[in-house]
Amino acid sequence: MKQFIQNLPKAELHLHIEGTLEPELMFKLAKKNHVVLPYNSIEEVRQAYHFTSLQSFLDIYYKGAAVLIEASDFYDLTLAYLKKCHEQNIVHTEIFFDPQTHTDRGIAFETVVTGISEALEEAKRRYNISSFLIMSFLRHLSQGAAFETLEASLPFKDKIKGVGLDSSELGNPPSKFKEVFQKAKEEGYELVAHAGEEGDSRYIWEAIELLDVRRIDHGIRCEEDEKLVAYLQKTQLPLTVCPLSNVKLKAVKEMGYHNILKLLHRGLLVTVNSDDPAYFGGYLNENLEAVATSLQATKEEILQLVENGFRASFLSNHEINKQKAYFASMRS
């Protein structure tokens, strides 16, 4: 199964670039940029990665991101992830970045976008990996701050495919960002939002009905509402599920209880993704392997989950059809 997963060409749709910061690079950049970390060693960093909730993770994740200062830091971070994509046979990736995590520390929006984009271009040349960039608004901040971020993004519209919503979900429902998502849509951005990770099914409905999103990030709590499951089945609105993340952040008790295959069998367009792989113990292949091992997924189920990654992507219909044909050939 491990080799089967490795060999499949894959797409990843839910990946925070700041969540790919491995402790080794964190220490290297901290030294270069004279940033003081609250850890004495790489081992100590890894020891700190025991989370009890989404918030307990975010507190550590934002501290780590403070080592990213220059465009070359964002370039190195992104290229390291894309090298991993190449090793794991990920041929297309749609990457989140959190502009406010950096602009609030005085780093220019341009510095962040330039560093990341140059790495994406290099990976296209070097590895033939295609990619899109999605900027996420931090939902623990105000809608006004999100409007400022949207404004700052406009000169770089050619480099940014869409807009997302992440950070602390509980108490920060999608309705808080209705107007800024409307404006982002008018600007031509694709729309996605984290919903139903820790928040209940009402957060998912709000993301659909008030924000008009094209995908739900996580969405695993949809199961609590039969009407919502039926809606997701009928519309094929995708869920970008992150199994290792859900277990690490205690959204799911253990992998054996994860509902991803249940949702797949109910006809939902579910995909597998790694979220913040440097913090959660695995990249995309490890997530697929965990599903295969703990939920006894068959090769056909893995094939369907991986094909769904392309179907749910923002690639052109032409590209998606090419991938569908490939997966059809795998079955015959």
Residues annotated catalytic, as ranges = 197
User: In a 3-state reduction of DSSP, which class is residue 131?
Assistant: strand
Q: Is residue 88 within the footprint of ligand ADE (CB under 6 A)?
A: no
Q: Is residue 276 within the footprint of ligand ADE (CB under 6 A)?
A: yes
Q: Is residue 85 within the footprint of ligand ADE (CB under 6 A)?
A: no
CB of 126 to ligand ADE, least distance (A): 27
Nearest to 35 by CA among 16, 55, 57, 62: 62
- CA–CA gap between residue 69 and residue 112 (Å, rounded): 9
222 binds, among Zn ion, ligand ADE, none (CB under 5 to 8 A by kind): none
CB of 167 to ligand ADE, least distance (A): 5
197 binds, among ligand ADE, Zn ion, none (CB under 5 to 8 A by kind): ligand ADE
- Maximum distance among all Cα pairs of the chain, rounded to whole angstroms: 57
CB of 144 to ligand ADE, least distance (A): 20
Phi first, then psi: what are they for 242, rounded to 5°? -130, 85
- CA–CA gap between residue 7 and residue 326 (Å, rounded): 13
19 binds, among ligand ADE, Zn ion, none (CB under 5 to 8 A by kind): ligand ADE
258 binds, among Zn ion, ligand ADE, none (CB under 5 to 8 A by kind): none
* Size of site (CB under 5 A) for Zn ion: 1
CB of 195 to Zn ion, least distance (A): 11
- Print burial letters for 285-317: b (CB count within 10 Å at least 16), e (below 16): bbbbbbbbeebebeeebbbbbbbbbbbbbbbee
219 binds, among ligand ADE, Zn ion, none (CB under 5 to 8 A by kind): none
Q: Is residue 166 within the footprint of ligand ADE (CB under 6 A)?
A: yes
Q: Is residue 275 within the footprint of ligand ADE (CB under 6 A)?
A: yes
Within 267-326, the residues that bind Zn ion by CB under 5 A are 275
Give the residue, chosen from 197, 206, 289, 307, that forms a contact with ligand ADE under the rule CB under 6 A: 197
Within 233-252, the residues that bind ligand ADE by CB under 6 A are 245
- The structure tokens listed for 56 are 């307990």
- The structure tokens listed for 31 are 């030294």
The alpha carbon dihedral of 93, 251, 294, 259 has a sign of negative
C-alpha 174: how far from chain center: 17
3-state helix, strand, coil in the chain (%, to 5): 60, 15, 30
- E strand or H helix at 25: helix 23-33
CB of 136 to Zn ion, least distance (A): 8
- Amino acid residing at 278: A
Q: Is residue 194 within the footprint of ligand ADE (CB under 6 A)?
A: yes
Residue 148: Cβ within 10 Å count:
17
Residue with smaller CB distance to Zn ion, 23 or 196: 196
Adjacent-strand bridge partners of 275: 15
Residue spans of beta strands (DSSP E) within the chain: 10-16, 90-97, 130-138, 162-166, 190-195, 215-218, 239-241, 270-272
Residue with smaller CB distance to Zn ion, 206 or 275: 275
Q: Is residue 286 within the footprint of ligand ADE (CB under 6 A)?
A: no
Q: Is residue 54 within the footprint of ligand ADE (CB under 6 A)?
A: yes
Q: Is residue 198 within the footprint of Zn ion (CB under 5 A)?
A: no
Nearest to 68 by CA among 40, 103, 117, 119: 103
Within 7-26, the residues that bind ligand ADE by CB under 6 A are 16, 19
Residue with smaller CB distance to ligand ADE, 8 or 133: 133
Give the footprint of Zn ion on this chain (CB under 5 A). Answer: 275
Give the footprint of ligand ADE on this chain (CB under 6 A). Answer: 16, 19, 54, 166-167, 194, 197, 245, 275-276
